[in-house]
């Protein structure tokens, strides 16, 4: 009775709404071709489409069949209007064949807007049919012909009120589930991100093997930009490939191991007995929160610190053309700055990629979600790790110089963007040397500060480094995710 009373009260709503809206031209009656009952094949097809519709997903097979038995089939020609904006909704439709086009005309500005829904269901008016609302947009057939299943509103109400009232409960359940689904958002904090279950460690090894060649070629290009010296794209691959496999497997394995200790710690209660009395003291919640933060931070950066020696061997393999020290000594050069870089690399590869994947999630497209998350994590990690990477490289190539000397006289000189360098050179004071073959420019303190800031914030070679990291993350996470999904589907 309540449902019947509510539905009957909605009959007058279009008239009430029309009195409050701005006057608009009354839509002319739409001439339609005669509707026909569904054939047996069309009825089966209609049932399948009803099951896919958000409004009817919780209905049983018999209930879906009841609705399909009450629907008609209708055909429309190109540009023929199916629904006219502002007209009362009298039917809902399922588009079996053909394409439709939705337009909304803003009543205030008169502008026409193309309407698209995030959910690409081929349904029209399903969310407006019960309330007899005014149609929000105009829907036209956008192909040579459109074949459409139609359910008149009065026929649907008769089913819901008189024949099978239980269908109303199923519709309400479907709509509430749909609301929960579209409003649900995952918001796990960065340091609380946990690794997906890796079904097979060989997947990690395959990904690392592929990525090692990509990384070696890009590293050679980065070093060429930094030093101006061309080097082989794939030097010492007999060392690089196994070390890279161990390096990536270490990052993923260490994260999986340490995730077991990444649980929220609750405030501790301490009980003290003083003879006849007992005192219960609850630890300050702020202390617990701080302890949780520092523990999670330590768990997050630990893989980068642990894997720094392996990374150092890999870097030393690419630097033999300038640093002639033996590998036993060469791998230690620049290890301090490299440790900072590896922490940022591990954070980007693991937690940061998952953080962005969670927030930029595409339903039913796990590979695309993984790729976008890896891309965003690679951009952030590549940018933040660029300066530590450059400093570790310069220290590796010129181990006799201090970090401060390398930053001031090598990094800044080679990293200031060219357009800014040319502009500041024109503003500074120049002195010719070597008989006028070269000019030494003297910068003021403010100009020098600008150079230092520009070299640090947007250094030369940043794009190459960021592309390298983005590509590595997409190759590694994408390959691992692909094999994991493949194994789960079997």
Given 163, 186, 209, which residue is the final one in a domain? Answer: 186
**Residue 124 belongs to some domain of the structure:** yes
Phi, psi of 461 (to 5 degrees): 85, 0
Whichever domain contains 311, its CATH number is 1.50.40
Q: Which among 302, 230, 216, 291 is positioned nearest to 259, based on CA atoms?
A: 302
Report the C-alpha gap between 154 and 213 in whole angstroms: 66
Same domain as 211, residue 90:
no
Beta bridge partners of 148: 74, 95
Residue 18 within any structural domain of the chain? no
**272 domain residue, yes or no:** no
What residues does 430 pair with on adjacent strands? 441
Helix (H) or strand (E) holding 456: helix 445-457
CB atoms within 10 A of CB 467: 16
Residues 177 and 218 in one domain: no
pLDDT digits (tens, 9 = 90+) for 396-423: 989 999 999 999 999 998 888 888 888 8
The DSSP element (H or E) to which 299 belongs, if any, is helix 285-317
Alpha helices in 147-236 (DSSP H): 153-158, 166-183, 201-227
Are both 175 and 298 inside the same structural domain? no
Q: List the domain range (segments joined by +) for residue 242.
A: 201-264+290-427+443-489
- pLDDT per residue as tens digits for the range 444-490: 888 889 999 999 998 888 888 888 899 999 999 998 888 888 887 77
Instruction: Report how far residue 396's alpha carbon sits from residue 311's, in angstroms, rounded to the nearest whole number.
Output: 12
Q: Which of 152, 186, 220 is the last residue of a domain?
A: 186
Domain co-membership, 124 together with 222? no
pLDDT at residue 17 tops 50: no
Dihedral sign of CA atoms 371, 373, 376, 379 in order: negative
Q: For position 275, what pLDDT does the model report?
A: 55
Based on the fold, state whether residues 296 and 422 are members of the same structural domain.
yes
pLDDT at 335: 94
173 and 43, same structural domain? yes
Q: Are 240 and 248 in contact (CB under 8 A)?
A: no
258-307 confidence digits (pLDDT tens): 887 776 555 555 555 555 555 555 456 676 777 788 888 998 999 999 99
Digit-coded pLDDT (tens) for 114-127? 887 755 558 888 88
Q: What does the buried/exposed string (b/e) look like for 396-418 if buried means 16 or more CB atoms within 10 Å of the residue's CB?
A: bbbeeeeeeebbeebbbebbbbe
pLDDT at 230 over 70: yes
Whether 281 is in a domain gets the answer: no
Identify the helix (H) or strand (E) that includes residue 102: strand 100-105
Give Cα separations from 431 to 142, 419, 424 (angstroms): 72, 21, 15
């Amino acid at each position: 009775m309540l449902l019947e009373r509510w539905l009957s009260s909605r009959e007058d709503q279009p008239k009430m709404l029309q009195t409050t809206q701005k006057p608009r031209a009354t839509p002319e009656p739409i001439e339609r071709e005669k509707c026909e009952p569904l054939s047996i094949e069309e009825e089966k097809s209609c049932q399948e489409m009803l099951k896919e519709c958000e409004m009817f997903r919780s209905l049983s097979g018999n209930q879906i069949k009841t609705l399909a038995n009450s629907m008609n089939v209708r055909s429309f020609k190109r540009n023929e209007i199916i629904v006219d904006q502002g007209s009362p909704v009298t039917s809902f439709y399922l588009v079996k064949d053909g394409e439709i086009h939705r337009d909304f005309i803003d009543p205030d500005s008169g502008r026409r807007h193309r309407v698209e829904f995030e959910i690409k269901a081929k349904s029209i008016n399903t969310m407006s049919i019960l309330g007899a609302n005014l149609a929000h947009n105009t829907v036209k057939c956008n192909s040579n012909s459109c074949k459409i299943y139609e359910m008149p509103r009065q026929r649907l109400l008769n089913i819901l009120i008189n024949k099978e009232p239980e269908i109303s409960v199923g519709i309400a359940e479907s709509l509430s589930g749909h609301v929960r689904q579209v409003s649900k958002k995952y918001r796990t904090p960065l340091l609380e991100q946990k690794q997906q279950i890796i079904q097979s460690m060989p997947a990690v090894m395959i990904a690392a093997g592929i990525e090692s060649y990509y990384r070696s070629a890009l590293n050679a290009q980065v070093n060429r930009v930094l030093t101006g010296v061309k080097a082989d794209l794939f030097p010492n691959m007999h060392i690089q490939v196994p070390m890279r496999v161990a390096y990536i497997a270490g990052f993923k394995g260490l994260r999986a191991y340490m995730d077991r200790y990444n649980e929220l710690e609750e405030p501790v209660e301490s009980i003290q007995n003083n003879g006849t009395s007992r005192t219960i003291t609850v630890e300050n919640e702020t202390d617990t929160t701080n302890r949780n933060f520092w523990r999670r931070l330590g768990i997050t950066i630990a893989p980068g610190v642990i894997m720094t020696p392996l990374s150092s061997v890999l870097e030393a393999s690419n630097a033999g053309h300038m640093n002639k020290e033996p590998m036993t000594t060469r791998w230690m050069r620049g290890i301090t700055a490299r440790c900072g870089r590896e922490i940022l690399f591990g954070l980007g590869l693991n937690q940061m990629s998952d953080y962005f994947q969670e927030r930029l999630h595409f339903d039913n497209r796990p590979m695309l979600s993984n790729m976008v998350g890896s891309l965003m994590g690679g951009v952030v990690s590549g940018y933040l790790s660029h300066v530590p990477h450059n400093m570790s490289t310069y220290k590796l190539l010129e181990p006799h110089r201090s970090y401060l000397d390398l930053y001031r006289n090598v990094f800044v000189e080679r990293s200031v963007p060219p357009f800014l360098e040319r502009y500041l050179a024109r503003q500074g004071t120049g002195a010719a040397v070597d008989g006028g073959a070269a000019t030494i420019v003297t910068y003021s303190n403010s100009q020098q500060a600008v150079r230092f800031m520009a070299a640090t914030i947007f250094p030369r070679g940043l794009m190459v480094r960021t592309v390298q990291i983005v590509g590595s993350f997409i190759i590694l996470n994408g390959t691992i995710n692909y094999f994991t999904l493949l194994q789960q589907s079997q």
